[in-house]
Structure 1
């Protein structure tokens, strides 16, 4: 497996398929962003991404996106992230390797904090993040109304350096 930040045109339909397979009302409030392929494809070129690929075939196994929470100078040492791993690649250390590379790059870039949100209805993801060193920063009760029910959301963070 290789980790790269070089998005290729052939990666886009693979990322689209991963996102369609992974994101559900049980783990994201933003399914509408995956309804228009052209808008989705165009948005990828403007994101900071790390891709995990099979070395021989170039097949995309997963991706992590990251960005500053805002353009404010006070946010220059903080990245917010999202991660999606192909269902067939889950449990094969793909997410762990992507996160290790993101932490390495964050350290080099002077980033002090990585953060993300995870639904309380997605305990497997929360457990994964905890295993790699993320901690709970807070719980937003009744953050989203999805499928006629309230969904709580955890905010989690990984602290780099001091």
Structure 2
């Protein structure tokens, strides 16, 4: 990592026992800036049949989990198997600004490439400028915009589709 980054940052595949900590990160990171569903409750489960631990990469620093990225198939179709989609991404608010997000996104792209995936896609809310800047720094480009796709916190918000060739 850089001079102000987490020198001890480790990125690994999630384990079943990480579920409660990742769910906690979801709760403390929740915001209408990045989320389209209400804040998860204290008993919310993160892992399920559609989101198994092996679809998650977690970032650890100083012995604690500081973020995760969830990637999965863009659709269940065999004809779309060459595409993977980032479907969840969180960095602990207390650990932001240290390069952890970029490291997680790059690790997800590296994992997908190693799995033979050709393209990584994601969706981001148009008003989430910090996330959009991060994705652009990681090589993602806007592929399309769904105008006023969501009504969030009293305003219509565009849904921006982004992608990157691997």
The TM-score normalised by the length of structure 1 is 0.87
1:86 to 92, 96, 117: 92
Cα distance in 2 between the residues matched to 1:26 and 1:93: 20
Cα distance in 2 between the residues matched to 1:103 and 1:121: 24
Cα distance in 2 between the residues matched to 1:113 and 1:23: 27
Could you list the runs of 5+ residues in structure 1 that have no partner in the other structure?
none
1:75 CA drift (Å) = 1.3
1:120 to 122, 126, 129: 126
Aligned-pair Cα RMSD in Å: 1.9
1:135 to 128, 141, 163: 141
Q: Write the deviation string for residues 47-97 of structure 1: whole angstroms up to 9, x where unpaired.
A: 41000012x52x101000011022211111111112110011111111111
Could you list the runs of 5+ residues in structure 2 that have no partner in the other structure?
1-8
2:14 to 3, 6, 9: 6
Q: Write the deviation string for residues 6-59 of structure 1: whole angstroms up to 9, x where unpaired.
A: 3152x3332122111222122211236x2362x5144286241000012x52x1
Query: Runs in 1 of length 4+ with deviation above 6 angstroms?
Result: none
> Which residue of structure 1 aligns with residue 112 of structure 2?
106
Cα distance in 2 between the residues matched to 1:124 and 1:41: 24
> Which residue of structure 1 aligns with residue 56 of structure 2?
49
> Which residue of structure 1 aligns with residue 78 of structure 2?
73
